[in-house]
């Protein structure tokens, strides 16, 4: 039996093609994935991301708990509403999950974790909570739906759909959030465009979705979500990194804070490890489509594509690949696609931000 979000019936009414996405019955597209992709880059797209789990951590010294739990430093969060992207590591320095942490006040932080890892994450956090005797309350918020409103017209659409929200959207800076009763509005996303992620009580979600559509938002499936995030150079958990890979070899060194004296889980393993690989962007120069697990041949040894697709914005194939160190942007590599070896150029990603091609 697949799990469903509070918007499941809405997706079906809209004629979405539904797929089993890690045990969730989710829309992969509502017609054309490529049209949906362009709609987000040029207008405003709506994503049901209710399969992801908001998780409230409350109690005394939540900050102290998170200092030890995650690889990025929550001391960067000093203003209420500020968000931080981080990995949560295991003792070996592998990535248990990547997540967003919102600091609301010293006794309340909200985390948003991936759908496929939610149970595992919660169990891990409860285990640490018990081990460290921190006595915090961890509350999974399955009573909330989450809708991402993304694109250059996102603020306009959200303001139309939700009278009064402009008091928040007009002042909310990127990577910040504000709570309004049970509603939670964050200026975050997974597309490389301006946009918001709004958490709202599950029962109110279908009406909210319809209001967003009437205001000009277009429903976008998980298919376009993947091409958008890849163009934006954002990692996908389970593909670009997992429990067996180091964040330092996954393009996530910028999220690992080794400056502060802070004993977080996985730190010792990371500091003892030798980094030999890097995550780079690839642009395919020949015709074809890069896909995950394709082998990459470089002058310094072999690597592998972790995520690959056809970029609707660039009209060519792009990928993230984990390859040996010492291969610089501008150099070419060979990718094995079926029985052929095709040429790809190493590039610095993101590929696309705010509707513009950066490569």
Partner 1 sequence: MSIPADLKYTPSHEWVRVETDGTLTVGITHHAQDLLGDMVFVENPAVGRTLAKGEECAVVESVKAASDVYAPVAGEVVATNGDVESSPEAINQDAYAAWMFKLKPADAGAVGELLDAAAYQKLVESEAH
User: Is position 307 an interface residue for partner 1 (rule: CB under 8 A)?
Assistant: no
Q: Which stretch binds partner 1 (CB under 8 A): 184-192, 275-283, 285-293, 323-331?
A: 285-293
Closest approach of partner 1 to the CB of residue 161, in Å: 28
262: left (phi over 0), alpha (psi -120 to 50) or beta: beta
User: Is position 192 an interface residue for partner 1 (rule: CB under 8 A)?
Assistant: no
**Angstrom distance (rounded) from CA 141 to CA 52:** 10
Closest approach of partner 1 to the CB of residue 310, in Å: 4
User: Is position 1 an interface residue for partner 1 (rule: CB under 8 A)?
Assistant: no
Cα 21 from chain centre: 15
Q: Which stretch binds partner 1 (CB under 8 A): 139-147, 157-165, 256-264, 287-295?
A: 287-295
Comparison of 128 and 285: residue with beta carbon closer to partner 1:
285
Site for partner 1 in 7-66 (CB under 8 A): 28-29, 32-34
Closest approach of partner 1 to the CB of residue 194, in Å: 24
Closest approach of partner 1 to the CB of residue 68, in Å: 40
Closest approach of partner 1 to the CB of residue 289, in Å: 5
Residues 6+ apart with CB under 8 A from 131: none
Exactly one of 291, 297, 345, 353 binds partner 1 (CB under 8 A); that residue is: 291
- Residue 27: closest CA among 13, 42, 43, 11: 11
- Residue 276: closest CA among 299, 296, 303: 303
Q: Map residues 211-250 to x or -, x wherever contact with partner 1 holds by CB under 8 A.
A: ------------x---x-----------------------
Comparison of 32 and 90: residue with beta carbon closer to partner 1:
32
- Angle value at C-alpha 356, between 351 and 358, nearest 5 degrees: 40
Exactly one of 79, 287, 330, 356 binds partner 1 (CB under 8 A); that residue is: 287
User: Is position 313 an interface residue for partner 1 (rule: CB under 8 A)?
Assistant: no
User: Is position 314 an interface residue for partner 1 (rule: CB under 8 A)?
Assistant: no
User: Is position 309 an interface residue for partner 1 (rule: CB under 8 A)?
Assistant: yes
**Angstrom distance (rounded) from CA 65 to CA 83:** 16
- Tell me if residue 90 falls in helix, strand or coil: coil
Strand (E) or helix (H) holding 214 = helix 205-214
Closest approach of partner 1 to the CB of residue 2, in Å: 16
Per DSSP, the residues of 101-170 read EEEEETTEEEEEE-TTTHHHHHHHHHHHHHHTT---EEEE-TTEEEEEEESTTHHHHHHHHSTTTHHHHT
Comparison of 28 and 122: residue with beta carbon closer to partner 1:
28
Exactly one of 184, 190, 237, 310 binds partner 1 (CB under 8 A); that residue is: 310
Comparison of 72 and 227: residue with beta carbon closer to partner 1:
227
- Residue 48: closest CA among 4, 101, 100, 1: 4
Closest approach of partner 1 to the CB of residue 235, in Å: 19
Residues 6+ apart with CB under 8 A from 251: 233, 235, 240, 278, 279, 280, 320, 349
CB 149 within 8 A of CB 160: no
Neighbours of 330 (CB within 10 A): 9
- What residue ranges bind partner 1 (CB under 8 A)? 28-29, 32-34, 223, 227, 287-289, 291, 309-310, 312, 338
């Amino acid at each position: 039996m697949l799990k469903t979000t509070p918007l499941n019936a809405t997706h079906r009414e809209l004629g979405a093609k539904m797929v089993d996405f890690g045990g969730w019955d989710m829309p992969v597209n509502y017609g054309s994935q490529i049209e949906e992709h362009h709609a987000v880059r040029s207008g405003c797209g709506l994503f049901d991301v209710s399969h992801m789990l908001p998780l409230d951590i409350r109690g005394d010294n939540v900050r102290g708990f998170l200092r030890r739990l995650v690889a990025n430093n929550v001391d960067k969060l000093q203003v209420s509403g500020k968000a931080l992207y981080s990995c949560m590591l295991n003792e070996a320095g592998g990535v248990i999950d990547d997540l967003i942490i919102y600091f609301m006040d010293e006794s309340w932080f909200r985390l948003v974790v991936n759908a496929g890892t939610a149970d595992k994450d919660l169990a891990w956090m409860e285990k640490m909570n018990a081990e460290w005797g921190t006595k915090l309350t961890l509350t999974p918020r399955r009573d909330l739906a989450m809708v991402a409103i993304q694109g250059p017209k996102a603020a306009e659409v959200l303001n139309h759909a939700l009278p009064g929200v402009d008091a928040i959207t007009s002042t909310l800076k990127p990577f910040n959030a504000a709570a309004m009763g049970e509603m939670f509005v964050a200026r975050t996303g997974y597309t490389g465009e301006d946009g918001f992620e709004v958490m709202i009580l599950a029962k109110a979600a279908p009406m909210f979705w319809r209001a967003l559509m009437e205001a000009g938002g277009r429903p976008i499936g998980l298919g376009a979500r993947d091409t958008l995030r890849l163009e934006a150079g954002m990692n996908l958990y389970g593909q670009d990194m997992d429990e067996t890979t180091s964040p330092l070899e996954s393009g996530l060194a910028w999220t690992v804070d080794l400056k502060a004296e802070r004993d977080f889980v996985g730190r010792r393993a990371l500091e003892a490890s030798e980094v030999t690989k890097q995550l780079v962007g690839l642009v395919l120069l020949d015709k074809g489509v890069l896909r995950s697990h394709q082998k990459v041949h470089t002058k310094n040894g072999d690597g592998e594509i972790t995520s690959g697709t056809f970029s609707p914005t660039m009209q060519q194939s792009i990928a993230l690949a984990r390859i040996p160190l010492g291969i610089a942007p501008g150099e070419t590599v060979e990718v094995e696609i079926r029985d052929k070896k095709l040429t790809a150029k190493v590039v610095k990603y993101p590929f696309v931000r705010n509707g513009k091609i950066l490569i």
